[in-house]
Homo-oligomer: A and B are copies of this chain.
Amino acid sequence: MSLTSRHLLGLHGVPKEDIVKILDSAVSFKEVLDRPIKKVPTLQGKTIVNLFFESSTRTRISFELAQRRLSADIVNFAASTSSLSKGETFKDTARNIEAMKIDMVVVRHQSAGAPHFLSRIVDANIINAGDGRHEHPTQALLDIFTLREKFETLEGLHICIVGDILHSRVALSNIYGLKAMGVNVSVCGPATMIPREIEKLGVDVYHHIDDVIPKVDALNVLRIQLERQEGGLFPSLREYHNYFGVTRDRLDRADKPITILHPGPINRDVELSADVADSEHSVILQQVLNGVAVRMAVLYLLSQSKP
């Protein structure tokens, strides 16, 4: 069993069949995580480089756990210790990785397109762990996996993504993946944080959280990047919370329980109130566990592809 592409660069253009293969495979790997010995020999003898040009905790740890539980050999490569500080080009770094006969590369980079560039010059399977404002496909896949687990079927659900859509690679990957799975997707945020012409991707746009809450099955609440505040995109955290904060009061006005997702780390009582984050409708911690299973599935399926 393998996927259409040898790489996971984004969810743009990935067919539904591939997404379903990943989700189904992740179901099996999630069972492994419930065993006393959470480990399978699937990638024994394979070498994976984690190439993180942007710092990250959860995503790196989640990938590393997935890799260890598949018995892969891992080499971590962080930007601060890399030759890049000696002025080496990204292309030379890539060629070196290629020359060292690495099997797979997980790359996070501040520039959109870096994983695509890598995939054109190296033989290894490339997995995008976040590139600029572009895509973060494994995050979207774990969100979709968590939703499928909750609702059993995705077809016809309505999911709204709330927050800074403009700067979010999580949002874009979710839109591509959810649309492929037949989900009705909308976005909600301040006008300054919604990309122009986003409707062309087939999503509805809301500027008032109270307008969309009555209509949705789940909200995927994005983390507000506190450092963006200085850019003047919104006046204050308090104001953001007042207009867009997902609170129990707001959710109680809907006539059914609404499932809450968040990619973490949460700014408690900014984009999401603490009681909602900890409520029975939050699937945030399931997302964390599912992230390991989904990444195991992606690594396994890509390793099966022919070069």
Residues of A within 8 A of B (CB): 33-34, 36-39, 44-47, 49, 55-58, 60-62, 64-65, 68-69, 73, 75, 77-78, 81-83, 85-89, 92, 95-96, 98-101, 226, 264-268, 285-286, 288-289, 292
Chain B, residue nearest A78 (CB): B81
Chain B contacts for A98, CB-based, 8 A: 285
CB distance from A13 to the nearest CB of B (A): 29
Dominant secondary structure at the A interface: mixed
Chain B, residue nearest A268 (CB): B89
Q: How far is the CA of A100 from the CA of B45 in the complex (A)?
A: 24
Q: How far is the CA of A141 from the CA of B88 in the complex (A)?
A: 23
Q: How far is the CA of A292 from the CA of B73 in the complex (A)?
A: 15
Residue in contact with A75 in the complex, picked from B34, B65, B101, CB distance below 8 Å: B65
Chain B contacts for A78, CB-based, 8 A: 81
Chain B contacts for A44, CB-based, 8 A: 37, 39
Q: Which of A58, A77, A267 has the most CB of B within 10 A?
A: A58
Cβ of A100 and Cβ of B61 under 8 Å apart? yes
